[in-house]
Amino acid sequence: MIAAAVFALALAAAMPDEPKTTAIVAQDQAALRAAPRDAAESQAALALGDALEIRGRQRDYLKVYDHRRERGGFVRAAQVRVLALAPGQAPELLAVARFLRDMPGYEALGIGYVAAYLVAAPAEQIGAEPFDALGTMAERLARRAATNTNKTRAAAITAQLDAVAAYGVAIRSFERDERVQLCYDGEAFRRVLALNADAEAKARAALGLTREDCIDPAMAPTERATFDAWRAGVLDRVPRAELPPHVRHRVRLRSASVWASIAFERARRGEDASDAANRALEELAGVERRELADGDVAAYDEAAVRVGASRWAATPARPMPAAGLAITTKPGQPGETCVTLIERRRGKDTTLAQRCTFGIVWSASASANAPGTALALAVQPLDGWRELWVFHRDGGEWRIDTAPPGTDGSLGYIEFAGWVPGGKKMLAARELRVGERFEKRFEVVDIATLAVDKHADAPASLSTFYRWQDAAWKRETVSLR
């Protein structure tokens, strides 16, 4: 529940015949002094957005009590804003919160004004707007805290996090990729969805509640599956027809990512994942890249990689070839799938190689070259991460080599894109997140070593790739979007 405990304490302490006023700190690191003098000892550095109970005034100073720190003192009147928490002042408080909502660096102050409005306004007049503003500012403050690299500002941002926590704003933290991830818990956004908000407010709320980077990495698979189903439902509640194109595309991109995850989870449980995978592909296909806002290009690439990693779930099983190389699968240990490479000749199957994996084996992806010396197979061990297994003959023996999308293991896929005549080369497409950017490459790969001979950022820039790319791959891949 969104709380305004600090304001409630200030009101309870006010005398019946005095105006119900409180002060909110408007200058970061304002000093709470022991006496009303500049030379007096500073007892605490107040954070932007801190609420103080007013107990009197002496010259240029207000005598205040800080309930969060349980300490009284004096603060310069110019460093705070005195608020009258009465119904008649509610529109003014909301107007200031509306102004601060889109001002980076003033999130804690804006949240303080929202809390003041929620105390002052009659319950029947409170709509979705203050919760939309609160959620927007809380999410931005969490992002600033998570991405801040300035040690000088770190203490001030931490103090602002403590200040908004006093209003009931919960910022969760967990470790992701060897760093601490901070995320707003989304309570205000849930209220926006429950109230009669406009379409853009609902879109902001849905996007705030469904962020991939704010999912706890320690969440169990069953919990994650339930949560992703909930995320998909939240996004479906947004009235897309009423949105501007660039906002509608943001919702589509998030929905594509969510449905790609659902497809992976269903396939891992042995369920039919084709509907989820097709939904992910449809959402991605509905995005017009030229209509995206500048800040949404990375989100577009991320969604495409996630959809690309799970896209084989949309492809129905293919019949086993009557002759040549093929694969069969059977259960291994609990949760494990064992893949067997066989050669079919004159009605007899010869086992050539076998390997077991806890990843999802996309059997429909199996593709053998014309000489019968190699076969490529897509295997997805993680959500958003798909590898390529290459079975190939090495002298008189068969080997199974694995080509991962990259070395960091965060987000990416590599897929077979065609065979080069001669039986020694193959084509591959690769998309990978590297740090904060995405890389896409089209490659000519040596089958024996999986070393990349040549690569380019577009098929047309690589004559071998352009000439021998597989027609089925070209038709189904998302890398050519």
Residues 237, 242, 246, 247, Cα dihedral to 10°: -30
**Token digits for 266?**
């269903």
CA distance 85 to 95: 14
Q: What share of the chain is helix, strand, coil (3-state, %, to 5)?
A: 40, 30, 30
* Pair 285, 323: CB distance under 8 Å: no
The partner residues of 209 in beta bridges, in order of sequence, read none
Residues 50, 56, 62, 65, Cα dihedral to 10°: -30
**Tens digit of pLDDT at every position of the chain (481 positions):** 454 444 444 443 433 334 447 899 999 999 999 999 999 999 999 999 999 999 999 999 999 999 999 999 999 999 999 998 999 999 999 999 999 999 999 999 999 999 999 999 999 999 999 999 999 999 999 999 988 877 778 888 999 999 999 999 999 998 877 788 899 999 999 999 999 899 999 999 999 999 999 999 899 999 999 999 999 999 999 999 999 999 999 999 999 999 999 999 999 999 999 999 999 999 999 999 999 999 999 999 999 999 999 999 999 988 888 889 999 999 999 999 999 999 998 778 999 999 999 999 999 999 999 999 999 999 999 999 999 999 999 988 999 999 999 987 689 999 999 999 999 999 999 999 998 899 999 999 999 999 999 999 999 999 999 999 999 999 999 999 8
**Token digits for 334?**
């609990």
Angular region, 138: left φ>0, alpha ψ -120 to 50, beta rest: alpha
Instruction: Give the residue extent of every domain in the chain.
Output: 1-197, 207-314, 352-476
Helix 107-120 with 5-13: angle, nearest 10 deg: 50
Phi and psi (nearest 5°) for 451? -75, 145
CA distance 292 to 289: 5
Angular region, 178: left φ>0, alpha ψ -120 to 50, beta rest: left
First to last CA, the chain: 44
